[in-house]
Structure 1
Amino acid sequence: MPINTNMKEKDLSIQAIGITKKYPKNKIGLQPLSLEIKNKSFVALMGPSGCGKSTLLKCLNGDNPATSGEVYINGLSLIDNYDLVKKSIGYVPQDDIIHRELSVYKTLFYAAKLRLPDGTPKEEIDIRINKVLKSLKLNQHDQGNQQGQKDIKDKKVKELSGGQRKRISIAVELLTEPSILFLDEPTSPLDPETIDSFLKSLRDLAQEGTTIIMVTHKPEDLNYVDEVVFLGVKGHLVYKGLPNKITEHFNVDSIIEVYSKMSDLEKVKKNYHPPKEDSHSLNLNPKLNKRRPDSSFQQLYWLAKRYLNIKLNDHSNLLLLLLQPIIIGGLVSLVFSEFRIGVIFLTAISAIWFGVSNSAKEIVSELPIYKRERMYNLNINTYIVSKLLILSLIALIQVVVFVAIIYFNFKINAITEFPETYLRPFWESVGFLFMISCSATLIGLFLSSYFSNTEKVMTVVPITLMPQIMLAGVMTKLDTRFIEILSFFTLGRWGTEGFARLQDTYFENSAIETESVLIPEFNPDGYHKNDCKCEASGALNQLGLYDESLIDKGVLIGGAFNNLATNVLAVLILSFIMYLLIFISLSKKDSI
């Protein structure tokens, strides 16, 4: 570490030494550069589009570390001491890092609970919330506290203007009182009047002790900053100094002309001589003292509570989720006049649909929020479990409603010839289908964690569901070894088979004296409404997943999986695999 305590101490927040950023296929994002940023300064990172402004910002804060070179934050190596350094860093990327369904107060309150030390009293949290809102001028008259209007703390984030949302994102970061604040193009969505108020509030923050590094492409922003770092095309550092000296340095009349000068990069580089920095004298920040590790249980509690609040506040989406079992259950009841194998199949597939559709967008839609919280202190396991808990609660309600519709419809409308043939046992069926739906929820979460945007996820969802339908043993018989093995990796097969077993087991264990367990789906010589030729058989037998003739020929594996316990075990194994895949996908999104 380049520290020499015998020399005169200099108040530096950031020092970068020879940092370079390279991407695959030899693409250079950032040429070798060194720079120092003083404590309590307000610095603008500028340059033409694609020059590496955001890349440099992410190299300095650890979101996308430099390929080579060293970055020091308050005298500590960013890479070697990241777990310690990261909590002195605030970072607001271009995308909002706040949930639109929550109120401003709830947004800040949950952020405080997840970031501040365990046991921080509510009174202190409220003080911090009021302080950051005041520092960002969000408690003033013009921010929504006029006569007859709601206080901004009571407004939902989605009701705010773009400028207000950006300030709330910054407020989330300021709750932990970071010594350095990184902002990626915060003024882009703002109008000129809002920009003036916004940048003045940032300047005040810098004067109060927070070092601010802001990516911007707006020349007028230079009127508010202390220093400007200007990058040329291909990531070359071409200027670092006072904002009012940049036009003089490039011998032009306006900052706009500086941008046009970047076309002659070789001449620009030749005329730029970086100032010599005292790179040996960094100041250790006393705020970097270690604190107790965050409690996983506390984090899980607040993550789950926040997520539940988000789902409950999203009224339209919640209503659609609750209507799904009613609509699908109603259609099944309308299409089928008897309780057949097709009903069992569609019930199992519906449980899978509930799980996948509920969860497919839940991670990808909040990816900027996840990545920022992960950079700070978010535990991947608590994050996954918090999602699974709330989504499972929703799935449980859906399954209960759906099974109730199927149960009562076919019980009330049971045909005379088979009065005992309807869905049973009720609660065991609910429990099994709930397990299937929870496992399907993990499939949806995996898709949501793997892909980078919602459009890709929703494109893949039907592709994911089709094998569940085709390999369940109902649409077509599983009569080859390869197809049978493929079916082992689908919930459609285990869900349909396990649910069919429940129906058979009920009749086998009950005192009902009947040979009719289930009416065959296609049997021209069997049941007809007007001419009863009663030939009914067990549900599992109709599926034909363990055809004895095919087993004898060695085409199918046979009875190794031919019991309910093995069905349940198979579902649990698939769930565990999905959980691991989610964990791996989220781990790959880590910054350092």
Structure 2
Amino acid sequence: MEEKGLSIKAVGITKRYSKNKIGLQPMSMDIKSKSFVALMGPSGCGKSTLLKCLNGDNPATYGEVYIHGLSLLDHYDLVKKNIGYVPQDDIIHRELSVYKTLFYSAKLRLPDGTSNQEIDRRIDKVLKSLKLDQHDQGDTPDQKDIKAKKVKELSGGQRKRISIAVELLTEPSILFLDEPTSPLDPETIDSFLNSLKELAKEGTTIIMVTHKPEDLNYVDEVVFLGVKGHLVFKGPPADILKHFNVSSIIEVYSEMSDLKAVKKLYQAPSDTLPSTDSNPKISRSKADSSLRQLYWLAKRYLNIKTNDSGNLFLLLLQPLIVGGLVSLVFSEFRIGVLFLTVISAIWFGVSNSAKEIVGELPIYKRERMYNLNINTYILSKLIVLALIALLQVLIFTTIIYFNFSFRAVSEFPDTYLRPFAFSVAFLFFISFSASLIGLFLSSYFSNTEKVMTVVPITLMPQIMLAGVMTKLDSRIVEILSFFTLGRWGTEGFARMQDGYFQDRDMEPESVIIPEFNPDGYYKNDCKCETSGALEQLGLYDADLIDKGVLIGDVFNNQYANLIAVGLLSVIMYLLIFISLNKKDSL
């Protein structure tokens, strides 16, 4: 299938969606090496769909695409590193500096053993090729180096070029760009497109989706689509008006929005249509080195979090505020304090992680197309989120511990949160597991708004099924509680206060909690009645256990609580993996 001088050959490609919706009508085309090609047409005609069919982001339902003579579907692992792809959304983190953005991308994409000197050379080269090494007018000397600027400080045009620079680091032979000129002003567009022309001359084939007629002045060839994905023209820009027999490109857009006119000019493929599976799956290779990828992903993520100092400050302020409120509201160490301590740990974990995947989906999808391993991606998130959760839990537990030890009831001086180290470890385990819940929500939903809408709904069962608000008095409620951290966390934490850390048959220690009646006074209006935390928690109605309505004592020990939390963590991890895997291109 290889033909000399061709970068891409598409043979009878067609795109169909569910309910028989057609994205692209059958079409064939050849794209020459070192050419600069524009994909144009009215809104909704399938320009981006065609681009994704050609680069593998969303392969054609029927037909075949060949990259340098190799089938895109059959040899994706071989050709993917020759492909650069910049979607409409930025594929760079706004919190990083330009240099760190490019440096981490190089570490994640370039072969193992690539030296820092080679990476710096490539960074300088791509910045120069995209004219990003030139200083802006009015910059003071300490502002002139764009590599030191954070991405969020750049203009829209500069961010788009940095996204392209990320792709050029690996020196791809083909570069796909989806509407790169949309955020640019006319002056910037001229400089930008001239940079792309130079890249094409140097050997990079460029396929660019655009809707701006003026972009025709820079490209070598135009592929024009009509409504409903019909190919109506492919050729030099100078021939387009003659082909459509009009006097301006605007008239072409107008005519090609009319389906009847489109069908008259539709260029049906003459090639034999190879039949492929209607749901093709691109094969993917494992990352070059999982440990190396994990290291650089975690380091990049940590750098992102520390650079966003305002948000990090708020995360660490949360335990101070919540711990202070608990200390203010409760004058004695009661079962309510234990419950709120566990719920706070769950809140820390979920809120920390709920936006961490969905907020960078374009970046994840592009890196996944290249070489990103799903497991290393998840683990890199968990490593950094675990560090943040540990700091939050440590701050919160310290406040609770010292507040109630200093304000202990005189008749019960030993009544306060303890043991301190085990309490921190247990709450960290709960918060870590809650981070997995947040990451699952972040991986499952497609935008941040949906995630933040669901977060409160996710937290309510943790409160309602913990056995504190009301006893678990039916089999359905009890089984539902098995799937909540609130239940296992509160029960396990109560056991810890009673001294049942190793085995439920151990004699309880003297860590006891004053028992209160509903009016807030000690039982029988005296300060002599006490009971253990687990007894006060009273998850179950004993009569219902005796009658066989509830499972009750099956999980009645500390180890069972820890195992339950661990199993929930494993389930959440698997759900995250499945959700991310479903986002792979088909």
Contact 2:95 2:150 in 1 (8 A): yes
Contact 2:28 2:271 in 1 (8 A): no
Structure 2 residue aligned with 1:152, among 146, 150, 156? 146
Structure 2 residue aligned with 1:58, among 52, 58, 72? 52
Closer/same/farther in 2, CA of residues 137 and 459 from structure 1, 3 Å limit: same
- Report the CA distance between 1:278 and its aligned residue: 13
- Report the CA distance between 1:274 and its aligned residue: 7.2
Structure 2 residue aligned with 1:557, among 541, 551, 558? 551
Q: Which runs of 4+ in 1 moved over 6 A?
A: 274-279, 506-513
Secondary structure of 1:142 counterpart:
coil
Give the TM-score of the pair, scaled to structure 1: 0.93
In the other structure, the counterpart of 1:359 is 353
In the other structure, the counterpart of 1:520 is 515
In the other structure, the counterpart of 1:341 is 335
Closer/same/farther in 2, CA of residues 428 and 42 from structure 1, 3 Å limit: same
CA–CA distance in structure 2, aligned partners of residues 93 and 458 of structure 1: 25
Is 1:428 aligned with 2:422? yes
Any idea what the Cα deviations from partners look like across 1:552-581, whole Å, max 9, x if unmatched?
A: 111210211000000000000000000000
Structure 2 residue aligned with 1:81, among 57, 75, 78? 75
Closer/same/farther in 2, CA of residues 278 and 340 from structure 1, 3 Å limit: closer
Secondary structure of 1:69 counterpart:
strand
CA–CA distance in structure 2, aligned partners of residues 520 and 35 of structure 1: 80
Structure 2 residue aligned with 1:582, among 566, 576, 579? 576
Residue type at the aligned position of 1:100: R
CA–CA distance in structure 2, aligned partners of residues 179 and 34 of structure 1: 21
CA–CA distance in structure 2, aligned partners of residues 521 and 446 of structure 1: 39
- Report the CA distance between 1:216 and its aligned residue: 0.2
CA–CA distance in structure 2, aligned partners of residues 465 and 354 of structure 1: 11
Is 1:111 aligned with 2:105? yes
Secondary structure of 1:473 counterpart:
coil
Any idea what the Cα deviations from partners look like across 1:12-51, whole Å, max 9, x if unmatched?
A: 0001111111111111111100001000000000000000
Residue type at the aligned position of 2:100: K
Closer/same/farther in 2, CA of residues 57 and 525 from structure 1, 3 Å limit: closer
50-59 or 253-262: bigger deviation? 253-262
Is 1:466 aligned with 2:460? yes
Unpaired segments ≥5 residues, structure 1:
4-8, 280-289
Structure 2 residue aligned with 1:128, among 114, 122, 141? 122
Residue type at the aligned position of 1:456: K
Any idea what the Cα deviations from partners look like across 1:308-366, whole Å, max 9, x if unmatched?
A: 00000001100000000000000000000010000000000000000000000000000
Residue type at the aligned position of 1:304: A
CA–CA distance in structure 2, aligned partners of residues 278 and 440 of structure 1: 54
- Report the CA distance between 1:264 and its aligned residue: 3.6
Unpaired segments ≥5 residues, structure 2:
274-283
Contact 2:86 2:163 in 1 (8 A): yes
CA–CA distance in structure 1, aligned partners of residues 536 and 265 of structure 2: 83
Secondary structure of 1:171 counterpart:
helix
Contact 1:247 1:254 in 2 (8 A): yes
- Report the CA distance between 1:524 and its aligned residue: 5.0
Contact 1:144 1:151 in 2 (8 A): no
In the other structure, the counterpart of 2:322 is 328
CA–CA distance in structure 2, aligned partners of residues 513 and 381 of structure 1: 43
CA–CA distance in structure 2, aligned partners of residues 355 and 31 of structure 1: 48
Any idea what the Cα deviations from partners look like across 1:48-83, whole Å, max 9, x if unmatched?
A: 000000000000000011111000011100000111
Structure 2 residue aligned with 1:300, among 269, 294, 304? 294
Secondary structure of 1:141 counterpart:
coil
Any idea what the Cα deviations from partners look like across 1:120-162, whole Å, max 9, x if unmatched?
A: 1000000000000000000013388653424100000000000
Secondary structure of 2:7 counterpart:
strand
CA–CA distance in structure 2, aligned partners of residues 143 and 20 of structure 1: 48
Alignment of 1:152-231 (within 5 A): 152-231=146-225
- Report the CA distance between 1:292 and its aligned residue: 9.9
Residue type at the aligned position of 1:251: N
Root mean square deviation, CA, Å: 2.4
CA–CA distance in structure 2, aligned partners of residues 55 and 582 of structure 1: 27
81-90 or 540-549: bigger deviation? 540-549
Contact 1:349 1:469 in 2 (8 A): yes
- Report the CA distance between 1:543 and its aligned residue: 1.5
In the other structure, the counterpart of 1:484 is 478
CA–CA distance in structure 2, aligned partners of residues 384 and 450 of structure 1: 13
In the other structure, the counterpart of 2:276 is none
Contact 1:36 1:277 in 2 (8 A): no
Give the TM-score of the pair, scaled to structure 2: 0.94
Is 1:137 aligned with 2:141? no
Is 1:91 aligned with 2:85? yes
Residue type at the aligned position of 1:447: L
535-544 or 493-502: bigger deviation? 535-544
In the other structure, the counterpart of 1:238 is 232
Residue type at the aligned position of 1:519: P
CA–CA distance in structure 2, aligned partners of residues 291 and 562 of structure 1: 46
Contact 1:546 1:559 in 2 (8 A): no
Is 1:416 aligned with 2:410? yes
Closer/same/farther in 2, CA of residues 513 and 17 from structure 1, 3 Å limit: closer
